[in-house]
Amino acid sequence: MKKLLTDWRLAWLLLLLPVALFLPAMPIDETRYLSVAWEMRASGDFLLLHLNGAPYTDKGPLLFWLVNAAWSVAGLNVWIVRLGVLAVSLASLLLFERLVRRLGTDSSDGNAALARRATLMLAGIVYIALFSSAIMFDVLLTACVLVAMHGVLDLDARRWRRGVVLFAVGLGTGLLVKGPVVLLDAGMVALVAAWWSATAREEKAKWHGCVVLGMLGGVAIALAWALSAYGLQGFWDAVVLRQTIGRVAKSFAHQRPLWWYFMVLPLMLLPWTLALRAPWAAWRGALLAPSRALRFAMAWFIPAFVAFCIVSGKQPHYLLPLLPAVALYLAQVLGSEGGRLRNRLFAALVLVAGFALAAVPYLAARAGDIAWIGRLVKAGTLTESSLHVFAGIWPLWGVLALALGIWLLRKRDGTAVELTLASAAVAMIGMLTLAQGVGPYVDVTAAAMRIKDFQTRGQPIAHLAWHHGLFEFPGRLTQPLEKVNYSDLRAWCEAHPDGEIVSFYTKYPITAKPDVEMPYRFGRIRFWHAADILTMPPPGAPPKADDEDDTPED
């Protein structure tokens, strides 16, 4: 690669940089992962993961190792972690562009143009921009998948040794990020390579031998950690049975119907689902008579996508490592005869969003005078707390979105660079709106420090229902925060009459006056004296089982 950063990449990076610098850790996933990384650092145990003092078996350690590496550079800050994720996002774009170039002849101007278009299409997906600095696993997993894909292309080029090593490294690091799902994201393209690779057809035995060797190498990388951390039985129970077989057979989280991804994917691919125009022959021809590059993309996307549809647990970001393959297909369609980009439908969507952002604080502040908002509050669709949050949003964000929409409307035809940067700007406006409007209501530092103060003084304190590790990192807690089920609440208070109960759940019928209340999201974090809870009548049945309080893992 002649240059690491072209002008559009630099502009894309600068547009997303404020999000990395100013967006706080968002509950419940990001705060949980930061707490796991904090407990790793506090305990000094970098092999066995912990959350609230208990073994945390849901994910691999690589993200948490990298979070601690970032903290070693710039202290225990959220922004340095987000900057690290943003750097991985940029690296993924570079890896993807090089991958598309390698699918043809490096000296081919046409293939270079396809690689540039495909990279723009990938970077221009609004969903990609929204996740570009998210403290989650999918951006890092995407980079691992792209490394593995380069290994597959090395095998195609008969660079057998390097191909096995890169394929193993990509799979092994992917396993250390999110477990066996990487085998779907990156492994299928190697297993069906006879469809797109002449080498795989001509040297079947050697190809499949190297693929198996690379897979075994990747598994060995992951096993080196897993067996050291858990031992054989613990690894089998936690990783194989729960995380892999449990999700495939019957997901314990995010169960959704078979067709769900077909509904979600077009929304994920904005703005291209609104902006990309081409004759039907271009769309059909790319599928029915695909080039080698598109055969590779289809082998990458289709088997894994079908598998994800079959698996009961579904979240949009599970598809993130497959979106480069879709971007390659869209780039091929755009480069076909008659392919073009139109601005106006996407511009209209941005204008509607901008108008809504500008109007929301005005409407929320005057909710008492607006009948239909009053009906929503009465029905429980809106709460007084949510109206307070909405009223605090700056109308400036809506004005910026309106200006962006007007800029897009200035001409009918657009360019890939303009739409890609517009998508990054949309993501920036949306995430900075979240940081400014909701940020103060997701900062639990004050509550976490109160919990730490109780623990330091040796005074009993427990959280009503599971707390997802919400307070560990903000409070730098070094002791687990006990969980108490609602059915056991009175017994705990009787055993600890000088103790304190804390909870961010509002569904439990606790009539005692809280000692302290703090705003949190669209509700409250409340602290009660145990002695005050004992003055209440004995609790009845909770609104639902306590174990349903556990927000599922992503």
For the chain, 554 residues long, give each residue's pLDDT as a single digit of tens: 445 445 899 999 999 999 999 999 998 899 999 999 999 999 999 988 999 988 888 889 999 999 999 999 999 999 999 999 999 999 999 999 999 999 875 444 458 889 999 999 999 999 999 999 999 999 999 999 999 999 999 999 999 999 999 999 999 999 999 988 999 999 999 999 999 999 999 999 999 999 999 999 999 999 999 888 776 555 555 555 555 555 555 555 567 888 899 999 999 999 999 999 999 988 888 888 888 899 999 999 999 999 999 887 789 999 999 999 999 999 999 988 889 999 999 999 999 999 999 988 888 877 777 777 777 777 767 777 777 788 888 999 999 999 999 999 988 888 999 999 999 999 999 999 999 988 888 899 999 999 999 999 999 999 999 999 999 999 999 999 999 998 889 899 999 999 999 999 888 888 888 889 998 887 889 999 989 888 877 665 565 544 444 554 56
Nearest to 496 by CA among 463, 530, 527, 464: 530
Burial class from Cβ neighbours inside 10 Å (0-12, 13-18, 19+) for residue 324 reads buried
Measure Cα distances from 533 to 399, 462, 516 in Å.
Answer: 48, 13, 14
CA-derived radius of gyration, the chain: 25
SS (HEC) of 262-329: HHHHHHHCCCHHHHEECCHHHHHHHHHCCCHHHHHHHHHHHHHHHHHHHCCECCHHHHHHHHHHHHHH
User: Model pTM?
Assistant: 0.90
Looking at residue 1, its pLDDT comes to 41
Q: Are 292 and 193 in contact (CB under 8 A)?
A: no
* Residue 503 DSSP one-character state: E
DSSP annotation string for 33-47: HHHHHHHHHHH--SS
Strand bridging mode 276-277 / 340-341: antiparallel
Looking at residue 242, its pLDDT comes to 57
- CA angle (433, 437, 440) in 5-degree steps: 130
Looking at residue 289, its pLDDT comes to 80
The 10 Å Cβ neighbour count of residue 107 is 8
Looking at residue 59, its pLDDT comes to 87
- Phi and psi at residue 260, in whole multiples of 5°? -60, -40
